[in-house]
C-alpha cells in the first residue's frame, strides 16, 4: 500500500505533463520523442520501473539516440544492474555526447582538447562531464 501511495505522490510532483504524455501514448504508443520525455520525467522522479518500460519500448522500436542510451543506462544503474547499463552508456559515449546534452550540460571535457562544446567531439573523445 505504501508503494502505491508513494508512486501516486511522485507522479503528482511531476505535474500535468505526465498525464498529457500518458494520454498521448495510450493513443499512439510508438511515439519515440514522447516515450523518451516520459522516461526522463519518470527517472527524475525515481520511478525507475515505469521509466524502464518506456526505455525498453524505445529499444523495441529500434530508436538509437544517445539520449535514450544515457537514460537507459542511468535507469539500469538505478537498479544496480551495472553489467546491463554499461553497454548503453558506452553507446552514448561512442556517439560523442554522453555527459553533455543528455545530462543537461552544454559542455564536455576532452582529455585531449580540454573543455569543448557539446556535439563538437568525435566518437570516443568524451571522458567526463565538466561543470559549467
Q: What is the CATH number of the domain that holds 50?
A: 1.25.40.10
132 domain residue, yes or no = no
DSSP per position, 19-83: HHHHHHHHH-TT-HHHHHHHHHHHHHTT-HHHHHHHHHHHHHTT---HHHHHHHHHHHHHTT-HH
Q: Is residue 131 part of a domain?
A: no
Please indicate, yes or no, if residue 62 is contained in any of the structural domains. yes
Task: Report the alpha-carbon distance of residue 71 to residue 132 in Å, rounded.
Answer: 21
State how many domains the chain has: 1
From CA 132, how far away is CA 126, in angstroms rounded?
A: 16
Sheet-wide strand order for 107-110: 114-117, 107-110, 126-129
Domain assignment present for residue 115? The answer is no
* Domain-embedded: residue 8: yes
* Position 128 in a domain: no
Contact 10, 46 (CB under 8 A): yes
- pTM over 0.75? The answer is no
Q: What range defines the domain where residue 81 resides? A: 2-104
Report yes or no on 122 lying in a domain.
Answer: no
> Within a domain: residue 44?
yes
pLDDT per residue as tens, the chain (132 positions): 676 776 777 777 788 888 899 999 999 999 999 999 999 999 888 889 999 999 999 999 998 888 898 999 999 998 999 999 999 888 888 776 544 544 443 334 334 443 433 334 333 333 333 333
Amino acid at each position: 500500500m505504501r508503494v502505491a501511495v508513494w508512486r501516486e505522490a511522485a507522479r503528482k510532483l511531476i505535474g500535468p505533463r505526465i498525464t498529457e504524455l500518458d494520454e498521448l501514448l495510450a493513443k499512439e504508443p510508438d511515439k519515440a520523442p514522447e516515450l523518451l520525455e516520459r522516461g526522463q520525467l519518470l527517472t527524475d522522479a525515481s520511478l525507475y520501473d515505469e521509466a524502464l518500460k518506456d526505455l525498453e519500448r524505445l529499444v523495441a522500436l529500434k530508436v538509437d539516440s544517445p539520449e535514450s542510451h544515457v537514460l537507459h543506462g542511468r535507469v539500469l544503474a538505478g537498479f544496480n544492474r551495472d553489467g546491463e547499463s554499461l553497454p548503453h552508456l558506452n553507446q552514448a559515449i561512442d556517439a560523442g555526447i554522453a555527459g553533455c546534452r543528455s545530462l543537461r550540460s552544454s559542455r564536455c571535457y576532452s582529455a585531449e582538447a580540454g573543455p569543448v562544446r557539446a556535439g563538437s567531439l568525435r566518437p570516443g573523445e568524451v571522458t567526463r562531464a565538466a561543470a559549467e
